[in-house]
């Protein structure tokens, strides 16, 4: 059968998605024909010339003045509940960059057509700001200007929709799937799915990581979608390789694991697969559909996944390990190396980001050893996610640097040892500091993830984290701070009383996402609801000191004070990778 997998906006713009490529490789091997259409990227590139008119319709004047709702959207997303004129002016500057000329220049800049991508100048920050503003403006326009069309089929059809439908129809699909990594993609997905169902009369199914973890923990999401949108024939959750194979083979849906579907007016959820597929039995991902697409990076960057799940699974605030089942499984390192070699030969890729939840030091060492033993990969560059623990020794980091590791994204969360122990992060601050210093010495860039507003965090502890960052600012090239949000299936949600939390009630997830823009429904910091998370359907009230105001005040000052080139909020992971690889002479 012919299956078309659609990646709807908003989605990453600088590299192809990994999950759909894995499904394509697996299903093609089983005798089916899968095509991947990255509408998110196409939509962003083709909408550039429409931005001035779209923004005017949304209430933004040609002089750069903002309508109230659009202003609130950017203020809340970037700065929280900003109150100063200076911050409002800053947001005005953000919106002014959305003029079509600036967007076209940003796209040319990041696809390498300006020739100055690697120059050490303010262009990185300017164009990153433009692309991020464009992404969030798309999100806002989708949920506001086009909401009636997406949800009800009323009003103006967004640009290029008819073109996408014609392109999909020309592929002659027997089924159409949408791959979603987040619920902000739902409005576009529902609108396009409805039109495709009406036009092509083929099964329309949904899947992706947003249906595979805490957002769908009790099937409330899939139930609501299937009840309210009859044009959706099924929703696949969990690891879907075998489930999709069975569906395309024509098996009875009720016998397929990991599917929510409609039967005689009732929503049925089949159980997950009893035994996940051994990772060594899954063929290499197929990125061939991305070869003719110009992603917003001057050099090809591809994702790699070496494991599924999380080996730690103990961080009290996290539920990411649920995305790919509750077990941790590793691919054979030889298979990972074969994939990298194949991607280098087929696609010219020499830059990779490892998208595992995180790599342990022992697995990172084995990975680095295998790269060094493979002459074909002598000139690659890569980054990965980890936590700074003592087993990341001097020797390990030297080995990683030699093998082509140019950056590590560290999940530190806090510089309070009490909080680190409280959330069971498994980190000792002195050891973490030593790891950061060793990375700097061996030319591995440190990217730091921080989290404010953790349960029981005091104002002094929040300030201690800020002081730590400023004290060691020469060690960090990028800081990514965020506010704590409670996630279902995390230990904190399962045992809230142990973490000083109180959970009150539930809110309808899809209604909130599709009919009230999620960014405008961020935590109400004025009343201290720091844990509101629409994406997982919980509304907790956290009794703790209000640290969010402090967080918002220091957020921009951190970016201003950091010495590293990437010490600002607007940066794409792929652009960081490409620039670091160039600086180290690896491209």
Domains contained in the chain, CATH given:
2-6+21-33+160-269 (3.40.50), 48-150 (no CATH), 298-488+556-578 (3.20.20.70)
pLDDT at 383: 97
Most confident listed range (57-71, 399-413, 500-514): 399-413
DSSP states of 283-316 as a string? PPP--GGGTTS--SSSS-EEEE--EES-S----T
Whether the pLDDT of residue 234 is over 90: the answer is: yes
Whether the pLDDT of residue 332 is over 60: the answer is: yes
Give Cα separations from 78 to 71, 95, 413, 557, 583 (angstroms).
Answer: 11, 12, 19, 13, 30
Whether the pLDDT of residue 82 is over 70: the answer is: no
pLDDT at 535: 31
Q: What mean pLDDT comes out for the span 441-469?
A: 87
Whether the pLDDT of residue 165 is over 80: the answer is: yes
Give Cα separations from 169 to 32, 250, 361 (angstroms).
Answer: 18, 21, 48
Q: Give the bridge partners for 35, in sequence order.
A: 4
Asked if 380 contacts 404 with a C-beta cutoff of 8 angstroms, the reply is: yes
Give the closest residue to 287 by CA, choosing from 23, 586, 532.
Answer: 23
pLDDT at 503: 66
Whether the pLDDT of residue 257 is over 80: the answer is: yes
Distance of CA 81 to the CA centre of its chain: 24
Give Cα separations from 186 to 144, 194, 225 (angstroms).
Answer: 13, 12, 10
Helix (H) or strand (E) holding 543: none
pLDDT at 319: 79
Whether the pLDDT of residue 563 is over 50: the answer is: no
pLDDT at 140: 62
Q: Read off the pTM.
A: 0.86
Give residues with Cβ within 8 angstroms of 297, minimum separation 6: 14, 15, 110, 111, 112, 572, 574, 575, 578
Whether the pLDDT of residue 132 is over 80: the answer is: no
Q: What mean pLDDT comes out for the span 472-491?
A: 80
pLDDT digits (tens, 9 = 90+) for 518-530: 332 333 322 222 2
Comparison of pLDDT for 89 and 32, the residue scoring more: 32
Comparison of pLDDT for 524 and 49, the residue scoring more: 49
β-strands 301-304, 33-38 pairing: unpaired
pLDDT digits (tens, 9 = 90+) for 184-225: 788 888 889 999 999 999 999 999 988 875 445 557 778 888
Give me 229's structure tokens: 């949108």
Question: Range with the lowest mean pLDDT among 37-46, 273-282, 315-324?
Answer: 315-324
Q: What mean pLDDT comes out for the span 276-292?
A: 91
Grouping H, G, I as helix, E, B as strand and the rest as coil, residue 501 is strand
Backbone angles phi, psi at 207, to 5 degrees: -170, -170
Whether the pLDDT of residue 363 is over 90: the answer is: yes
Q: What mean pLDDT comes out for the span 555-571?
A: 50
pLDDT digits (tens, 9 = 90+) for 391-409: 999 999 999 999 999 999 9
Asked if 475 contacts 436 with a C-beta cutoff of 8 angstroms, the reply is: yes
Comparison of pLDDT for 524 and 510, the residue scoring more: 510
């Amino acid at each position: 059968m012919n299956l078309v997998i659609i990646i709807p906006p908003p989605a990453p713009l600088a590299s192809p998605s990994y999950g759909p490529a894995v499904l394509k490789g697996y299903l093609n091997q089983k005798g089916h024909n899968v095509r991947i259409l990255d509408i998110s990227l196409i939509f962003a590139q083709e909408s550039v010339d429409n931005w001035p008119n779209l923004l005017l319709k949304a209430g933004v004047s040609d002089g750069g003045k903002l309508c109230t709702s659009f202003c609130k959207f950017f203020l809340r997303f970037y700065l929280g509940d900003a109150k100063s004129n200076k911050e409002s002016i800053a947001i005005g500057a953000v919106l002014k960059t959305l003029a079509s000329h600036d967007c076209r220049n940003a796209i040319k800049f990041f696809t390498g057509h300006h020739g100055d991508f690697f120059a050490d100048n303010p262009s990185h920050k300017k164009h990153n700001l433009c692309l991020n503003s464009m992404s969030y403006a798309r999100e806002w326009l989708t949920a506001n200007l086009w909401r009636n069309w997406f949800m009800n089929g009323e009003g103006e059809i967004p640009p290029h929709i008819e073109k996408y439908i014609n392109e999909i129809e020309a592929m002659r699909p027997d089924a159409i799937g949408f791959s979603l990594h987040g619920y902000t993609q739902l409005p576009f997905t529902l609108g396009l799915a409805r039109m495709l169902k009406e036009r092509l009369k083929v099964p329309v199914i949904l899947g992706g990581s947003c249906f595979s973890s805490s957002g769908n923990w009790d099937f409330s999401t899939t139930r609501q979608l299937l009840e309210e949108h009859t044009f959706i024939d099924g929703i696949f959750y969990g690891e879907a390789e075998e489930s999709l194979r069975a569906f395309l083979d024509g098996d009875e849906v009720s016998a397929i694991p990991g599917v929510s579907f409609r039967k005689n007016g009732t929503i049925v959820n089949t159980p997950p697969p009893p035994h996940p597929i051994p990772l060594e039995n899954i063929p290499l991902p197929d990125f061939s559909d991305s070869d003719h697409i110009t992603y917003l990076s001057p050099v090809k960057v591809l994702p790699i996944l070496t494991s599924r799940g999380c080996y730690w699974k103990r961080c009290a605030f996290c539920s990411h390990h649920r995305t790919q089942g509750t077990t941790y499984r590793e691919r054979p390192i030889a298979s990972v190396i074969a994939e990298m070699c194949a991607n280098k030969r087929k696609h010219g890729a020499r830059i990779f980001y490892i998208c595992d939840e995180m790599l342990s030091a022992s697995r990172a060492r084995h990975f680095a050893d295998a790269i060094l033993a493979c002459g074909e990969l002598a000139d690659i560059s890569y980054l990965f996610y980890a936590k700074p623990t003592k087993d990341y020794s001097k020797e390990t980091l030297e080995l990683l640097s030699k093998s082509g590791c140019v950056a590590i994204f560290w999940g530190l969360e806090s510089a309070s040892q009490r909080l680190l122990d409280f959330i069971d992060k498994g980190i000792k601050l002195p050891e973490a500091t030593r790891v950061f210093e060793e990375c700097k010495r061996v030319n591995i860039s440190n990217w730091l993830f921080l989290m404010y507003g953790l349960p029981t965090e005091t104002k002094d502890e929040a300030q201690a984290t800020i002081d730590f960052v400023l004290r060691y600012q020469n060690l960090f090239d990028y800081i990514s701070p965020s506010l704590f949000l409670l996630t279902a299936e995390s230990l904190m949600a399962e045992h809230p009383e142990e973490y000083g939390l109180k959970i009150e009630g539930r809110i309808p997830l899809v209604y909130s996402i599709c009919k009230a823009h999620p960014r405008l429904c961020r935590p109400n910091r004025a009343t201290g609801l720091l844990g509101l998370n629409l994406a997982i359907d919980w509304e907790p009230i956290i009794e703790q000191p209000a640290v969010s105001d402090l967080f918002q005040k220091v957020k921009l000052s951190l970016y201003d004070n950091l010495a590293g080139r990437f010490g600002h909020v607007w940066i794409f992971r792929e652009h960081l990778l490409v620039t670091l690889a160039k600086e180290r002479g690896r491209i």
